[in-house]
Amino acid sequence: MKHLLILGPALLLVFLTACGSAPSDTATTETAATAETAATWTVGKMEPLYSANSQGYYRTTYREREGGNTVYAYDLITRVSFDTLEEEVLCHLPGCEHDTPDCVSYINIQTSDVILAQEDGSVLVYHAAFSDQSGQNMLESYQEILNDPARLEEAYPGEAGKAYVQDCIDMLQQPSYVDRISADGLTRERLVTLPEGVNPGLVCRDENALYGIVKEGVFEAATNIYGVRIGLDGQVDTFSIPDPDYTTLLGGWNGQLVLCHTRSPVDMNTMYLYGNYDGYYALIAQDTHDCWLYDPATGAVDKIRLPDQNVELWQVVGDQLLYNRKEAGRYTLCAYDLMTGEARALCEESNMGTDASPVQNLGGMPHFVVSYLNGSITTVELSTGLTWSQAELGEMAEEIPAGFYVNRPVCETADGNLLLELYSNSYRNPIYLMVPSPVTPEEDTADVSASLQAIQDYLQVTQDYEEAAEEPSS
């Protein structure tokens, strides 16, 4: 009977414990009201938009074609070989002079095409069509000139000029698309043509698709914001994101999209529409971000409020969410571990806001991000927070050609070298150097040890908590 008397308080305790064990302060799950249709696709291993593969690093280079007294500019896709550090045009068509749109690496100078390296050695070219009225106006203007021989000869003289205008018209008539250039530089094929008017800005990619965001309308007052998945099999899917007026895509993690949600105590968009620009820009300067993990298949959202109050989110690198902590005019670059929920400071600066662009590592997860420290470009190592200025990176090279300086680290090769990009005030095009990566195997090991220690600490805290919870009922 005595045992039965204990049962009542015990059940009450269980009930109260259940009531108290609400979701943690950092993450709550809810279903997004804006997810109208469940996605039929899944998020793969997401990564930023990288431009290097085992064969080299790819970029666009500026070229000029002469036509009478006028030069006509265009871009070519080039590859910097890791073996030779020489830059070559990614076109091996026999006899190609690489100065017309027939060249597989040719890009119209007025576009901002994104070059993405594939593991198989091929290259993807994403072309985003002009969204606004200016694109249509440009098209009409070029067409008028082309149809008026006198005006054409005056503004764009010679056959080269006519070809340039025609190329611009062709480009402006294209919707957004994804092309693939084969690894041997012999073919360029159209993989995907996006629907008319769907012109996303790319954010990230996985093995099978590219992901971006469409913002229709002007910058501050976009009326229609949604996500786009561009399948490399040609399938294009649009998807809604929760609270689209204040949310954008940051990347992906663990089968979910990582969204950056802007938080403000006032509806800033309405404030802008009221014409209260003082208030709008003051709030923009003070706003802060939350990380939302969004499952497009179910519409579920895990809202993560970071331990720091005023933050700007930058990037997802592996399990780490890189963000900036703003505190009384000081900025600290921090890493939040999405797996463990722990945050740590990497480096601090006081001059201007930091940034964090991951340096692609062809051997695995990135070791470095390019950030700003006291107004200068700085390379930050993610496990230790060690930093290298551009000059310090240059000192790693045996010799730097006179007049050149390190601009940034481009990527880390699979065999542990950093490819550095060097610019000069005298030359338009950069040169490239390879230096050993400053990450040592010991530092890698230290990183793993620190993670294991963190997990053990967490397990110990959990065990202590469980023991403490058992005490009253015993």
Partner 1 sequence: MKRNRKRGWMLALCAAAIVPLAAIPLGWFALTDAAMVGQTHTQQTPYTSLVPTGDDYYLLRQLNTRVELAWRNYNGQMYSTEDGVEGMYFSGATYSGGMTYADADMQQYRDEVLQTLVDGGVLPQAWWDQVKEEIDYWAAPTYYSTDSLGFLRLKTYVGENSQTCLLNMEVDSRTGKVVALWISALQRHEIDPAVALPAWVELNELDGLGDWTVPTGTDYEQSGLYSENGQALMTCATGEDTFSSSGETRQFLSLQLGPYTKEVSG
* Binding-site ranges for partner 1 (CB under 8 A): 30, 33, 133, 216-218, 220-221, 223, 243, 246, 263-267, 270-271, 273-279, 281-286
Report the residue number, 264 or 451, with the smaller CB distance to partner 1.
264
C-alpha 118/C-alpha 54 separation (Å) is 9
Closest by CA position to 423, among listed 437, 396, 403: 403
Q: What region, left, alpha or beta, does residue 168 occupy, with left being phi > 0 and alpha being psi -120 to 50 degrees? A: alpha
- Sign of the C-alpha dihedral, residues 252, 256, 262, 267? positive
3-state DSSP percent of the chain in helix, strand and coil, to 5: 25, 40, 35
Report the residue number, 31 or 374, with the smaller CB distance to partner 1.
31
- Rounded to a whole number of angstroms, the minimum distance from the CB of residue 306 to partner 1 is 15
C-alpha 315/C-alpha 333 separation (Å) is 11
Report the residue number, 34 or 182, with the smaller CB distance to partner 1.
34
Report the residue number, 52 or 304, with the smaller CB distance to partner 1.
304
- Rounded to a whole number of angstroms, the minimum distance from the CB of residue 422 to partner 1 is 36
- Rounded to a whole number of angstroms, the minimum distance from the CB of residue 87 to partner 1 is 42
* In 174-223, alpha helices (H): none
For tokens 């050695």, what's the residue? 121
Helix 133-146 vs helix 158-173: crossing angle, to nearest 10: 150
Report the residue number, 153 or 216, with the smaller CB distance to partner 1.
216
Report the residue number, 63 or 303, with the smaller CB distance to partner 1.
303
Closest by CA position to 124, among listed 63, 167, 77: 77
Contact 306, 320 (CB under 8 A): no
- Rounded to a whole number of angstroms, the minimum distance from the CB of residue 241 to partner 1 is 13
C-alpha 291/C-alpha 312 separation (Å) is 10
Report the residue number, 65 or 263, with the smaller CB distance to partner 1.
263
Q: What is the DSSP string of 38-92?
A: --SS---S-B----EETTEEEEEEEEEEEETTEEEEEEEEEEEETTT--EEES--
Spatial neighbors of 372 by CB under 8 A, at least 6 apart, are 349, 351, 352, 353, 354, 355, 378
C-alpha 215/C-alpha 83 separation (Å) is 41
- Rounded to a whole number of angstroms, the minimum distance from the CB of residue 286 to partner 1 is 5
Report the residue number, 331 or 368, with the smaller CB distance to partner 1.
331
- Rounded to a whole number of angstroms, the minimum distance from the CB of residue 248 to partner 1 is 15
Q: How many residues does the chain have?
A: 474
Report the residue number, 38 or 339, with the smaller CB distance to partner 1.
38
Report the residue number, 33 or 452, with the smaller CB distance to partner 1.
33
- Rounded to a whole number of angstroms, the minimum distance from the CB of residue 221 to partner 1 is 4
Tell me how far apart the 2 most distant CA atoms of the chain are, in Å.
108
- Rounded to a whole number of angstroms, the minimum distance from the CB of residue 255 to partner 1 is 25
- Rounded to a whole number of angstroms, the minimum distance from the CB of residue 284 to partner 1 is 8
- Rounded to a whole number of angstroms, the minimum distance from the CB of residue 340 to partner 1 is 26
